[in-house]
Structure 1
Amino acid sequence: MAVTAVWLSGCAENGVMTPLGPVAAGERSHLISFFLWMLPISLPLLIGTPWIALRYRRRGGKGKYDPNWSHSVAAETAIWGGATLTFLIVGWLTWGHVMGEDPYKPTGKDPIHVQVIGSEWKWMFIYPDKMATVNKLVLPQHTPVEFDITATGAMQSFWIPRLAGQIYAMPGMGTKMNLTTGDTTEIFGFNSQFNGAAFPLDKFEVDVVTKDQYDAFLQEPKHPWAQLEAAFKKTATWSGPELFEPPMKDYWMKVMMNPSIATDGGAAILPDNSPAQKDIDKAINQDLHLSQLNGGAQ
């Protein structure tokens, strides 16, 4: 267990235990409180099972053999009373935390709106009337953000571990996520829903920057929207972040109602010997190699 804990500590740099915003900080607090409240149930089981096996073993055990024992009020109270109390407390905490941190509930006034379209195996971010990006999300620090999220093709799960929990992105449906950013940083977001051949590549850059840097980002040179629209349909994976002109008005809503507008879909299953699958395999191997060189354990 100790070796496993040390090994998993490599995930901490981009994990839920190192939050960068109030929503993620609340989720870390929830995890810790749930863990502590579950100890009264898990510890007696983990400790008691080997203790009973040793004490009452057939040969060499020192436990007293009592074939007529049938009931103990103290034991019943400890076993059932403790478990019942723990589940009531954990249930109450869960309800309070879920209702208090509803992802559809705004986290502040005048949030920035970003529209999200997930596809195999890439992410499009639309800043309405300003720009569109692929695999790159830039947000100003200490600012409320509201995401409108949908998907094409296979279902995905939108997750930025250090800012908020995951929420599903589904074709033909729209979901929301609200959060508030923290200090400036460079992190990653992921698709946490396994959905096919290039799933390991399904991640995106997240840069939390100053307000001036954010305004400058919106003014950066952009590729034509038609170029993004054409490539997004036929390209399974995206080689890197790119910036584009904004789409037509209500484009996100139209994609939500008819996912085939943004992509042909159905790309999650490819023949093993197809050129597209071979290219994906090479990209996955290269990505894993770079992660190992950088010390990542993602």
Structure 2
Amino acid sequence: MLATVLFLAMVAVISGCSSEQYIVLDPKGPIGQHQKDLIIISTVLCAIIIVPVLILTAIIVWRYRDRPGRKASYKPDWEHNTKLEVTWWSIPIVIILVLAIVTVNYTYKLEPSKALESEKEPITIEVTSLDWKWLFTYPGEDIATVNYIKIPEDTPVRFQLTSDKAMNSFWIPQLGGQLYTMSGMAMTLYLQADEPGSYYGSGANFNGEDFAQMTFRAEAVSDEEYDAWVQEVKGSSPALTLDGYETLKQPGRSDVQLFSSFPEGLFQYIVTQYVEDGSGGAHAHHGQSGKSANNGDSGH
């Protein structure tokens, strides 16, 4: 019975938690909602096995405990019961098969690089993880930010992810699952915010001294507010130069920064900077715009 009480207490605690504490269970986009559904389905299917096992364990331990004056018959040669064997093997097998089918279905449905169905054209944001900060470049708008992104609501966002050095993991829990950023690679992740709001984002990978400070805010606003913000950044913020980027990528924390422009092809330069065969290198960004560097299928 103790196991039952502990399980019910756990359910009560989880059900009473606020969305601020368990933001994964408070999705604000289609990907996050599908992933929440998968979590719930998997938990329920596993509970069908785990809860009865915990209850039976408590009952068996209590019922068959050693105590004075016991009169139960001793049957040392009993070792098999076909009905019981079929019962406790068939139920888990069926549940595992159902869980496998559900997981495979959601795995294909939630492929990170799969474009989201929408009447709106997606916007592109290039994401670079640095030590210990995030650089976001908008090739379509020709602006850049550090530790902050703003996106239009109800619009698919195509994130292109890479890392300048150490591997990290890009994660906005309320919008969808994490995806790794890796040096020399450009990964694609589609997310969408269905409603306005300010959403917590972070690096979900241990990568050094200040990894805990690699957090950012993703703010979803209306199309009009987004366009106004882009124009404000372009009109009131300094430009990000190559020298500025070299300084920015030095290890250390950073506050939010906004830039009115960034060097052409910066993202492609970051991805290919460690290539040794001559196809990349320090001047690979010349002659390519930020937009053209992103439009290619650079997922490796």
| TM-score class normalised by the smaller sequence | 0.7 to 0.9
Match of 2:230 in 1: 218
CA shift, 1:12, in A, is: 3.9
CA shift, 1:137, in A, is: 0.7
Q: Does 1:134 align with 2:150?
A: no
Q: Does 1:52 align with 2:44?
A: no
- SS of the residue corresponding to residue 219 of structure 1 reads helix
CA distance in 2, matches of 1:254, 1:73: 66
Say whether the 8 Å CA contact 1:151–1:259 is kept in structure 2: no
Q: Does 1:245 align with 2:260?
A: yes
CA distance in 1, matches of 2:261, 2:83: 69
- SS of the residue corresponding to residue 81 of structure 1 reads helix
Question: In structure 2, do the counterparts of structure 1 residues 96 and 75 end up closer, same or farther at CA, with 3 Å as the change threshold?
Answer: same
Q: Among the aligned pairs, what percent are the same residue?
A: 30
Specify which of 155, 159, 163 is matched with residue 143 of structure 1: 155
Where does 1:1-298 land on structure 2 (aligned, <5 Å)?
2=9, 6=13, 9-10=17-18, 12=20, 15-59=23-67, 65-109=74-118, 110-128=121-139, 129-220=141-232, 221-226=236-241, 228-238=244-254, 240-258=255-273
Say whether the 8 Å CA contact 1:133–1:241 is kept in structure 2: yes
- From the CA coordinates, give the structure whose radius of gyration is larger: 2
Question: In structure 2, do the counterparts of structure 1 residues 63 and 77 end up closer, same or farther at CA, with 3 Å as the change threshold?
Answer: farther
* Superposition CA RMSD, Å: 2.4
Say whether the 8 Å CA contact 1:228–1:244 is kept in structure 2: no
The one-letter amino acid paired with 2:124 is H
CA shift, 1:235, in A, is: 4.5
1:124-154 Cα deviation digits (max 9, x unpaired): 0000152000000100010011000011222
Say whether the 8 Å CA contact 2:239–2:262 is kept in structure 1: no
The one-letter amino acid paired with 1:209 is V
- SS of the residue corresponding to residue 113 of structure 2 reads coil
The one-letter amino acid paired with 2:196 is T
Give the structure-1-normalised TM-score.
0.81
CA distance in 1, matches of 2:72, 2:258: 72
Match of 1:273 in 2: none
The one-letter amino acid paired with 1:85 is V
Question: In structure 2, do the counterparts of structure 1 residues 32 and 4 end up closer, same or farther at CA, with 3 Å as the change threshold?
Answer: closer
* Alignment coverage as a number of residue pairs: 261
CA distance in 1, matches of 2:147, 2:72: 63
The one-letter amino acid paired with 1:93 is V
- SS of the residue corresponding to residue 147 of structure 1 reads strand
- Please identify, of 222-231 and 1-10, the stretch whose mean Cα deviation from structure 2 is larger: 1-10
The one-letter amino acid paired with 1:59 is R
The one-letter amino acid paired with 1:133 is T
CA distance in 1, matches of 2:265, 2:253: 25
Question: In structure 2, do the counterparts of structure 1 residues 108 and 67 end up closer, same or farther at CA, with 3 Å as the change threshold?
Answer: same
1:148-181 Cα deviation digits (max 9, x unpaired): 0011222111000000111111111111101222
Match of 1:286 in 2: none
CA shift, 1:247, in A, is: 2.1
CA shift, 1:32, in A, is: 0.5
Question: In structure 2, do the counterparts of structure 1 residues 134 and 184 end up closer, same or farther at CA, with 3 Å as the change threshold?
Answer: same
Question: In structure 2, do the counterparts of structure 1 residues 118 and 63 end up closer, same or farther at CA, with 3 Å as the change threshold?
Answer: farther
CA distance in 2, matches of 1:77, 1:232: 63
CA distance in 2, matches of 1:101, 1:123: 24
Give the structure-2-normalised TM-score.
0.80
